Structure 1
Amino acid sequence: MVFSCCAYNCKNTAKDKSLSFHKFPLKKPKLLKKWLYNLRWKDWKPAPHSKVCSIHFEKNCLIKEGKRVRLHSSAVPTIFAFPRRVGDRKSKINPRSRRALGIVGDANSPQAAPRRSLKNTGENSSSQTTADRTKTSKQQLTGQENRPPWTILGDGALDRSMTLPSFFHGGYCLPMNISWAGDDELNVKPHVVYGVPGQTKPHIIEVKERWEWLGLDVRGPFSPTVDHHTHIMTLTDYHSKWVEAFPLTQNLGQDVAVCLAEVIIQQGYPLGILSRLSRGTLKEVNRELKKHVRLKGNTLVVHHRQTGYMDLVTEALLNKMLDELVKKHKVTWHVHLPAATLRFCCTNHPSTREKPFTRMYASNPRFSSSPRELPFSVTDIRLSSFIISSTEANNMGTASENLGH
């Protein structure tokens, strides 16, 4: 039997040896639900032999073991070539529809162009090689024409939650009689800390000091360096805007842990680190981190949906700085990364109107040389909403407007 991909508008088959095909997680109901949600087929259930090809997975979801490629235990397909009309969360595609069968294209989407009948046009099917078809398919699915070749690695479920109204309102209000559409775990309810008597409003954690709460992100893949670096890890202090940056290889979990340990040994222990990486990756990071530094609990890096959205100004500046760096030094950007990061930290920040270096090293209290205890449980932190001190929030609003201009 020759396997074919079950994803919309994907014509890849197992004949293409450059791809790998992966079965649905039929024995993991929660994970299977996420797969089916992303595929968006209406009233369709996968058979035991149904598979999705590797093109639809982010690189960090694929694990190479010799010639064999397997999926990370929490991997979810997230790359598809849907027409614009299917962009809405509630929209589903009927597998028997003319659009799904490729008979009719979506006029609003160049990615969903109608199939041309070879019989009617008299074209030879061998005019386009398998390699060409695969290359075209990859370009369509990844949207290379419309977005940069790199991204910020994140949990697919977390990214979907950003489209819910509850995300934008979760920081300051709790609708009591409104149920937003979507998965229960992505609804407004997780913003409330459970187990606290009388708790009806979101729990707020305020960032008040430097080196207290940090944000961890991984960007990539970038053009490989001579030392095989493909990603960049950034660690941002939400209060001072101080940034640490490190080049990473494909061993993301281990590399991130080693870099974190290096920062902690040099700077001291933060209170906690927020990250949007998948929970499976963060579990590996925390496990590896314990081998290098002392920790009071099992978790220092916590999965949180606000990681990149609490300080949009710094994120925009970092994206621009790293993009320009990699374009200028295509195979040696890892060598220039420390200098570029220090230059960033020695430049006045639009939000604080101070240099991150000044706020980081010219104030008290001193950094903690011993492990610090989290003020709340990991679950409560995940469900809480973070805010930066009010004076800085006002400055950030002005900075955002300036960046917009």
Structure 2
Amino acid sequence: MGRYKCSADMCESSSESDVKFFKFPLCNSRKLKKWLANMKCKDWTPSRFSVLCINHFEEKHIDRTGKCVTLREDAVPTIFQPPDNTKKRKKASTDLGSKKVKAPRFKASQTNPAPTAPPAMTMAGVQNEAPSDTEEEPSGDPQKPERWRIIVDHGLMKISSFPHFFHGDYCVPQDIQWAPDDNSSTDNKDPENIIEVKEPWEWLGLDVRGPLPQTVNGHKYVLTVTDYFSKWVEALPMELCLPVHVAKHIVDIIAHFGFPFRILSRLPHDIVQKINKELKDRLKVSVALVVHHQQTGSADLITQQLIDRMVNSLVEEHAADWDVYLPAKVFSLCFKEHSSTKERPFSLLCCTGVEPVKSPRGLNFTYSKIRDSAFVVR
């Protein structure tokens, strides 16, 4: 059985005594913020093993009516000793057995959020000029990683497919934004430069959303792959948004559903190239499966909005473990009737009797032709 140690400063209560302990409300971000504010914790974040003893709660916040002593719904710790400036504050990370468990740490802006601008929660770009301090991604030698850059473009706010901002208590007020969509119309265009999406699992769209509140498992990003025809969605949590991680998930998706014609993405050109290099090594193919295309988000606006609402809901309801609830949310999304097709994505993709394609196809589509064409979903 694990041993508990009270996380409050200068409190000596432990599970060796007959003191009652309560875990931090990790799934309720507002209440958690109040707990940490009363504890005067600025640079420390509790893990799922962190606890406070009953001595820090007023009697009005304690419910003794049942078999077990519990906290009331609005309970907030208020009883703490003043900090001792002569001693350096230490936080004990409790463990199971005798093994220490390292608590995930959020940034200081989590407990004192005062962003001057709404955080952009998506990633991609077109240029490669300003390096970002938020992520690293390998290029050949893993010991000398390159960095993703930050794209600042106020025109992004006018894009209809730009995702909703996630106003969680743990949002970080900086990071990478999507590049603008090419909301080009197909009217009066050369038919040779128009590609029609006519069947399931032919043309897919790939996006990365994040950073989101970091979960106990360390996940901060969501990779989404969407079938433009059936509206089927694959959504997977990621710890980092590096080409090697994106490629690994694409390989798993292809192993299950087969090869599409291509996968469109708004990720930067150089990142797309590195993803393709990883895919070629893993799948032993010569074709570039991922193609940079500015129409990635605007080809299916409704599904993008559904995904945005789904992720937003997860972050608000399950800030500490949204990755655990993600599969069920995606399952529900794929088994509901889609407003544009009037069909369930599952029915269009999985109930047609078509077998997954086990080798690359659509080889007549060159990279340049796909990049310069407009997509129309029939």
TM-score of the two chains, using structure 2 as the length reference: 0.56
Contact kept, 8 Å, 1:151 with 1:220, in 2: the verdict is: no
Quote the Cα distance in structure 1 between the aligned partners of 2:355 and 2:204: 16
**Which residue number in structure 1 is paired with residue 292 of structure 2?**
303
Quote the Cα distance in structure 1 between the aligned partners of 2:236 and 2:289: 19
3-state SS of the aligned residue for 2:375?
strand
Inter-CA distance 361–34: structure 2 relative to 1 (3 Å threshold): closer
Q: CA deviation at 1:335?
A: 1.4
Inter-CA distance 151–279: structure 2 relative to 1 (3 Å threshold): farther
Quote the Cα distance in structure 1 between the aligned partners of 2:173 and 2:334: 23
1:4-403 map, 5 Å: 57=132, 59-60=134-135, 72=147, 76-79=149-152, 156=179, 159=180, 162=181, 167-173=182-188, 203-297=193-287, 299-389=288-378
Contact kept, 8 Å, 2:184 with 2:374, in 1: the verdict is: no
Inter-CA distance 236–173: structure 2 relative to 1 (3 Å threshold): same
Inter-CA distance 76–337: structure 2 relative to 1 (3 Å threshold): closer
Q: CA deviation at 1:302?
A: 0.4
Q: CA deviation at 1:333?
A: 1.2
Matching residue's letter, 1:309: S
Matching residue's letter, 1:376: F
Inter-CA distance 376–232: structure 2 relative to 1 (3 Å threshold): same
Inter-CA distance 386–250: structure 2 relative to 1 (3 Å threshold): same
Q: Which has the larger radius of gyration?
A: 2
**Residues 271-329 of structure 1: per-residue CA shift (max 9 Å, x gap):** 110000111111111111223223241x1010001101000000001100111012211
Contact kept, 8 Å, 1:207 with 1:239, in 2: the verdict is: yes
3-state SS of the aligned residue for 1:222?
coil
Contact kept, 8 Å, 2:206 with 2:264, in 1: the verdict is: yes
Q: Number of paired residues?
A: 242
Q: CA deviation at 1:225?
A: 1.2
Quote the Cα distance in structure 1 between the aligned partners of 2:176 and 2:231: 21
Inter-CA distance 322–143: structure 2 relative to 1 (3 Å threshold): closer
Matching residue's letter, 1:79: V
3-state SS of the aligned residue for 1:360?
helix
Inter-CA distance 372–153: structure 2 relative to 1 (3 Å threshold): farther
3-state SS of the aligned residue for 2:267?
coil
Quote the Cα distance in structure 2 between the aligned partners of 1:257 and 1:211: 18
3-state SS of the aligned residue for 2:283?
coil
Matching residue's letter, 2:188: C
Consecutive unaligned residues of structure 2, counting only runs of 5 or more, are 1-107, 109-124, 159-164
Q: CA deviation at 1:343?
A: 0.9
Quote the Cα distance in structure 1 between the aligned partners of 2:242 and 2:373: 27
Cα RMSD between the aligned structures? 3.7
Quote the Cα distance in structure 2 between the aligned partners of 1:352 and 1:220: 29
Matching residue's letter, 2:187: Y
3-state SS of the aligned residue for 1:236?
strand
Inter-CA distance 300–143: structure 2 relative to 1 (3 Å threshold): closer
Contact kept, 8 Å, 2:338 with 2:344, in 1: the verdict is: yes
Contact kept, 8 Å, 1:220 with 1:232, in 2: the verdict is: yes
Inter-CA distance 151–349: structure 2 relative to 1 (3 Å threshold): farther
Quote the Cα distance in structure 2 between the aligned partners of 1:276 and 1:222: 19
Higher relative contact order (CA 8 A, sep 6+): 2
**Residues 135-185 of structure 1: per-residue CA shift (max 9 Å, x gap):** xxxxxxx9989xx769996664xx2xx4xxxx44442235xxxxxxxxxxx
Inter-CA distance 239–144: structure 2 relative to 1 (3 Å threshold): closer
3-state SS of the aligned residue for 1:218?
strand
Contact kept, 8 Å, 2:137 with 2:242, in 1: the verdict is: no
3-state SS of the aligned residue for 1:59?
strand
Q: CA deviation at 1:62?
A: 8.2
Contact kept, 8 Å, 2:251 with 2:279, in 1: the verdict is: yes
Matching residue's letter, 1:254: V
Contact kept, 8 Å, 2:216 with 2:321, in 1: the verdict is: yes
Consecutive unaligned residues of structure 1, counting only runs of 5 or more, are 1-17, 19-30, 36-51, 89-141, 175-199, 390-405
**Residues 179-213 of structure 1: per-residue CA shift (max 9 Å, x gap):** xxxxxxxxxxxxxxxxxxxxx66600000000100
3-state SS of the aligned residue for 1:311?
helix
Contact kept, 8 Å, 1:152 with 1:218, in 2: the verdict is: no
Matching residue's letter, 2:205: G
Quote the Cα distance in structure 2 between the aligned partners of 1:173 and 1:290: 37
Q: CA deviation at 1:336?
A: 1.3
Inter-CA distance 60–308: structure 2 relative to 1 (3 Å threshold): farther
Contact kept, 8 Å, 1:218 with 1:231, in 2: the verdict is: yes
3-state SS of the aligned residue for 1:223?
coil
Q: Whose strand proportion is higher, 1 or 2?
A: 2
Inter-CA distance 151–262: structure 2 relative to 1 (3 Å threshold): farther
Matching residue's letter, 1:78: I
